[in-house]
Structure 1
Amino acid sequence: MQRRTLLKGTAVAGVAVLGAGFWALPGGPRPAALSLAAAQQVLADLQGRALQSLRGWSPSEVFNHCAQSIDYSIDGYPRLKPAWFRHSLGPAAFAVFSARGGMRHPLDEPIPGAAVLLEPDNQEAALQRLRSAFVRFASYQGELQPHFAYGALSHGEYAAAHVMHLYDHLSLLRLA
């Protein structure tokens, strides 16, 4: 009985936090539409432009991180959150992000188990890596791997997740 009460309390608290988080998400304009094509155009527009980060990761680290996430959706994430999380809080968070059309997450937190964000170490090469990852994802027809936090996502859901993820990170990059 106590376990059921604890689970109910946890679920109610989770819903309350996610509901509050929904309204805390940014409501302002995005760099572009929430589509793979729009994200690819945003990245194309950054080609050859010097960028700087307002804080946290450098532009090359941001691009490498976003490319890692896309590649892991195809190849598999190195470490997953526990199954209970990927079947409860993770999907609930993704539902909030999807409904809001925007994501907020710690912008200097690596993907669990991911390689260090050093390769490639220059902005142009890292940007090209990210652009290539988006092209690979857009044309990928196979089964996608579970997201480390959100669990199983369809190709369309993953596309939205990758674009929202990119746009959240781009919020800290500016022209130098």
Structure 2
Amino acid sequence: MRRRTLLKGAAVSGAAVLGAGYWALPAGPRPAAVSLDGARQVLADLQGRALRSVSGWSPSEVFNHCAQSIDYSIDGYPELKPAWFRHTLGPAAFAVFSSRGAMRHPLDEAIPGAAALTEPSSQALALQRLQAAFERFAEYRGGLQPHFAYGVLDHAEYAEAHVLHLYNHLSLIRPA
């Protein structure tokens, strides 16, 4: 009984925080449409350009991180948040991001259990890795693995999540 009450309280509190956070999400212009084609065009436009990060990870680390997330949606995440989170707060957060068309999350927080973001180390190769991950995802027709926080997503929802994730990270990337 106490556990159920605690879980209900946590879910209600989390929903209140997510609702308040909805209005704090950016509503300004995105780099492109929230679509796989839009993201691929943004990445193509970055090829051959010298880039810098205004805070946190380097551009190559950002590209490797986003590629990891895409690959894990197909191959499986190394660690998952608890089931109660993936069935309550995680999907609620994704619903907020989806309805707002923008994601905001800590931009220097690694995926739980993920490999270091050092390979490939060059910006050009990391960008190619990310482009290849988007291509692989676009062509993939098999079952997708549960997101470590959002839980089960279908292909269209995952596509949206990957694009919003990329755009959130690109908010700190500028021409050098």
TM-score for both structures, normalised by structure 2:
0.98
Partner of 1:48: 48
1:1-176 equivalences in 2 (<5 Å): 1-176=1-176
Deviation at 1:162?
A: 0.1
Deviation at 1:13?
A: 1.0
Residues of 2 paired with 1:41 and 1:123: CA distance? 17
> Alignment identity in percent?
78
1:112/1:4 CA distance change after superposition, 3 Å? closer
1:78/1:5 CA distance change after superposition, 3 Å? closer
Residues of 2 paired with 1:8 and 1:81: CA distance? 17
Which residue identity is paired with 1:98? S
Residues of 2 paired with 1:65 and 1:147: CA distance? 15
TM-score for both structures, normalised by structure 1:
0.98
Q: Secondary structure at the match of 1:142?
A: coil
Query: Residue deviations 1:61-97, cap 9 Å, x none?
Result: 0000000000000000001111111011100000000
Deviation at 1:10?
A: 1.9
Q: Secondary structure at the match of 1:52?
A: strand
Deviation at 1:2?
A: 3.8
Gaps of 5+ in 2: none
Q: Secondary structure at the match of 1:116?
A: coil
Gaps of 5+ in 1: none
Residues of 1 paired with 2:168 and 2:141: CA distance? 26
Q: Secondary structure at the match of 2:20?
A: helix
Residues of 2 paired with 1:43 and 1:160: CA distance? 16
